[in-house]
Amino acid sequence: MANHSRQDAKLTVYGRKTRKCTVPVNEQGKYLKVSQYYGENVYNYHLSKSLSLEDKETLKQVIEGKKTINRELATKVANSVLEWAIAKGATHFCHWFQPLTGASAEKHDAFLSFDGDRPIEALSASQLMQGEPDASSFPNGGSRATFEARGYTTWDLTSPLFIQESSNGKTLVIPTAFVSYHGDALDTKTPLLRSDLKINEVMMKFCNLIGMKDVNRVYTTCGAEQEYFLIDKAFYFGRQDLVMTGRALMGSLTSRNQQLEDHYFGMIEERVLAYMAEVEIELYKMGIPAKTRHNEVAPGQFEMAPIFKDANVAADNNQIVMTVLRNVALKHDFVCLLHEKPFSGVNGSGKHLNWSMSTDTGINFLEPGHDPHENYRFLAVVATVVEAVYRHADTIRAGIASHGNDHRLGANEAPPSIMSVFLGETLTKIFESMVSGGKYVHSARQILDLGARQLADLMKDNTDRNRTSPFAFTGNKFEFRACGSSASIGYPLSILNAAIADIFDETNKILETEIAAGKSSDDALVAVVMKFYGNAQRIVFNGDGYSQDWVKEAEKRGLGNLRTTPEAISVLKDAKKTNFLMRTGVFKESEIMTRHNVMLERYIKCRDIELKTLRAMVSQQVLPAAVAYKAQLSEGVKRLKDAGIDSSLEIDLLKDLAVLSKALYEETNIMANIINELHHKGDEEAMAKNIASDLMPRSVKIAQICNQIEEIIPDNQWPLPKFYDMLFIR
């Protein structure tokens, strides 16, 4: 019996037309250059006609953290923002924040107010600066009782206000932090802002010690590459697992998938390119500098990457990017999947965090220059970062833990769960020669001879790139490659910043001691390199992080390997490993425990949803399809026997299907019983560990049986959209 819903979905997809997006034009109908409409939906106080030059200068100092905003200036800014937003067509405003769900949240309020009986538009200073959302329904990790509902959102002046457009209206979006009634951070933004303040504090001292007297501010910068999958929504809504969990819990892999490596950087299909173009237009309007777009490794997988911004704005921008990717996809009859592993057997999706530190004078501390072996400031900064990752590796690993990321880390497609640092051949030789007392012989950069005079000469870089490393130096930045594609980057960034700021406190003490002893700043910087690289060099690994040899070698070196989320987040309960988060002022002790509890609870809930969804699909779709085909085969065997025709093929198929169906039924029931037993125990940590060690391998076994059944049942009788449908039909 044919499965009409799946066949209808395929016919629907075959009939899709490429959507044409609206490209911005001027009054004469001519297309605008990106530079002409970039940031048009972002509030820029410099352009305000209602703010005086003095107001603008004061506001600039407030944003830089040198002053606090007073009520008079806040009122002026609110009036200026209101005037701008209404002129852009906005009717509502919202405080936009990032709770511990990993997503963003907002509640819209109308500008509508009344002056007596006269309706007016209004935005007060209080409405701009502070909101009061109901905090009880957001994750709080047991930090407060459910009935304690009050929370606060407070305007983050360092992140631009912007207009969010929808089909039928526009909303002024005010980026805010989100804290509890008692001032504890219940979001990802607040700790990130604290970490940037600490980075500025320690790096300003570093600058002063080594003679960089013209620097007034140091900040971290970030560019978050975003990977994602696109599938047609007709297939998406035919898969209960994708809707409920974001990933396919079963599915037989197609014979050709990514092994020919032909999708990576391949020609972008027209329908996908139209989607990408509309995404970029929406992002450009909101001042988000999307720079690159391309096909990724797996079929149906793509990537976009922005230009660097300061870390806090970059984190906000990435939350907007994920929202825009999802929303625009629906307009093109796609669904954008941000799960780290939507399809088993092909590469999952990550989010590479390109991280560096810069000064307000334009200096990048991770720029090696032409002679890195003589750039002692650069070498000291790199050595300090390496020490930070070495000393705080387990906590940094906890920062990227999630149920989705567990499917990627160490799966021969993403960095392993072992934290290591890639420096490349040149840098490693420089450091090793310094520590060993040898002499590094600098060689000029090579020109690659390509053997074709028609091609321009290429200068060989000092360092290669290593896609198997979780934390790799890539020319003038570190690339933290282990973050999951659906994650909020604010959390891992705040931990990374705290780790680096913590070690820079020690760097500054070494510099003070050495300089007080009469050493030059260069000699003092060399002392930093000698101490930290000499201590942390065991975490430096330039080889293949995917290999089992590295797993064994890392164990010999004493490096941690926290394979699953329950293992990783248990680190947050170890005060010896997390005290640097409190020492730097990035997290309070209560906030660390809140995050442990929230991450633990989220892991259990997400896995519970997955396992129950898997059970439902087996009971309602896979087994009925198997039973129906068994009946069909049985009837066929009977007819063949009655006709005196050999039925051994049909009997073999029937036997195979019977064995698989019974095994599937039994395994699913065992899984369901284990789930029920775990829920009755009530110990969340034990439950999470049992899920990771027992139930997840069992769910994989169930999925494999389902896949075997799928391969037996005729294509037109299989009830679920297949991997072929979802990955290849667009």
667, two tokens: 């395994």
Distance of CA 404 to CAs 245, 305, 701, Å?
Answer: 10, 21, 18
Looking at the predicted structure, is the pLDDT value of residue 463 above 70?
A: no
User: Please, which pLDDT band fits residue 119 given cuts at 50, 70 and 90?
Assistant: very high
Looking at the predicted structure, is the pLDDT value of residue 467 above 90?
A: no
Average pLDDT over residues 542-553: 89
Q: What is the pLDDT of residue 468?
A: 81
> Alpha-carbon torsion 698, 416, 583, 139, what sign?
negative
Q: Which CATH number fits domain 196-448+455-598: 1.10.8.60, 3.40.47.10, 3.30.590.10, 2.40.50.100?
A: 3.30.590.10
Using an 8 Å Cβ cutoff, are 247 and 697 in contact? no
User: Please, which pLDDT band fits residue 436 given cuts at 50, 70 and 90?
Assistant: confident
Using an 8 Å Cβ cutoff, are 182 and 147 in contact? no
Q: What is the pLDDT of residue 464?
A: 53
Q: What is the pLDDT of residue 592?
A: 96
State the CATH architecture for 38-187.
Answer: Roll (3.10)
pLDDT, tens digit, 9 for 90 and up, residues 557-567: 999 999 999 99
Number of separate helices (H) and strands (E) present in the chain: 24, 20
Q: What is the pLDDT of residue 545?
A: 87
Burial 442-470 (b: 16+ CB within 10 A, else e): eeeeeeeeeeeeeeeeeeeebbeebebbb
User: Please, which pLDDT band fits residue 140 given cuts at 50, 70 and 90?
Assistant: confident
Within the chain, all domains assigned CATH 1.20.120.1560 are found at 603-728
289, two tokens: 């500098």
pLDDT, tens digit, 9 for 90 and up, residues 638-696: 999 999 999 999 999 999 999 999 999 999 999 999 999 888 877 899 999 999 999 99
Looking at the predicted structure, is the pLDDT value of residue 192 above 90?
A: yes
Burial 491-500 (b: 16+ CB within 10 A, else e): bbbbbbbbbb
Residues in contact with 141: Cβ distance below 8 Å, sequence separation at least 6, in sequence order: 100, 593, 594, 595, 596, 597, 598, 601
Q: How far apart are CA 581 and CA 298, in angstroms?
A: 37
Mean pLDDT of the chain: 91
Q: What is the pLDDT of residue 521?
A: 94
Residue with the two structure tokens 């980026």? 175
User: Please, which pLDDT band fits residue 466 given cuts at 50, 70 and 90?
Assistant: low
Q: How far apart are CA 320 and CA 312, in angstroms?
A: 13
Q: How far apart are CA 701 and CA 96, in angstroms?
A: 42
Looking at the predicted structure, is the pLDDT value of residue 143 above 70?
A: no
Within the chain, all domains assigned CATH 3.10.20.70 are found at 38-187
Q: What is the pLDDT of residue 2?
A: 58
pLDDT, tens digit, 9 for 90 and up, residues 2-21: 577 888 999 999 999 999 98
Within the chain, all domains assigned CATH 3.30.590.10 are found at 196-448+455-598
User: Please, which pLDDT band fits residue 182 given cuts at 50, 70 and 90?
Assistant: confident
Q: Which residue has the higher pLDDT, 700 or 450?
A: 700
Looking at the predicted structure, is the pLDDT value of residue 448 above 80?
A: no
Q: How far apart are CA 419 and CA 468, in angstroms?
A: 11
- Residues of the chain with pLDDT > 90, as a percent, come to 80
The answer regarding whether domain 603-728 maps to CATH 3.30.2010.30 reads no
pLDDT, tens digit, 9 for 90 and up, residues 38-49: 999 999 999 999
Residue 604's nearest CA partner among 565, 640, 571, 546 is 565
Q: How far apart are CA 51 and CA 167, in angstroms?
A: 32
User: Please, which pLDDT band fits residue 604 given cuts at 50, 70 and 90?
Assistant: very high
Average pLDDT over residues 385-407: 96
pLDDT, tens digit, 9 for 90 and up, residues 247-292: 999 999 999 998 888 888 889 999 999 999 999 999 999 999 999 9
User: Please, which pLDDT band fits residue 701 given cuts at 50, 70 and 90?
Assistant: very high
Average pLDDT over residues 55-84: 92
Looking at the predicted structure, is the pLDDT value of residue 426 above 80?
A: yes
Average pLDDT over residues 466-493: 91
Q: How far apart are CA 49 and CA 398, in angstroms?
A: 48
**Alpha helix positions (H), 643-719:** 648-681, 684-690, 696-712
The gap from C-alpha 234 to its chain's centroid, in whole angstroms, comes to 26
Looking at the predicted structure, is the pLDDT value of residue 141 above 70?
A: no
Residue 226's nearest CA partner among 398, 351, 356 is 351
Total-model pTM: 0.93
Residue with the two structure tokens 């095994």? 663
Residue 519, phi-psi category: left (phi > 0), alpha (psi -120 to 50), beta (remainder): beta
Residue 709's nearest CA partner among 671, 672, 669, 659 is 659
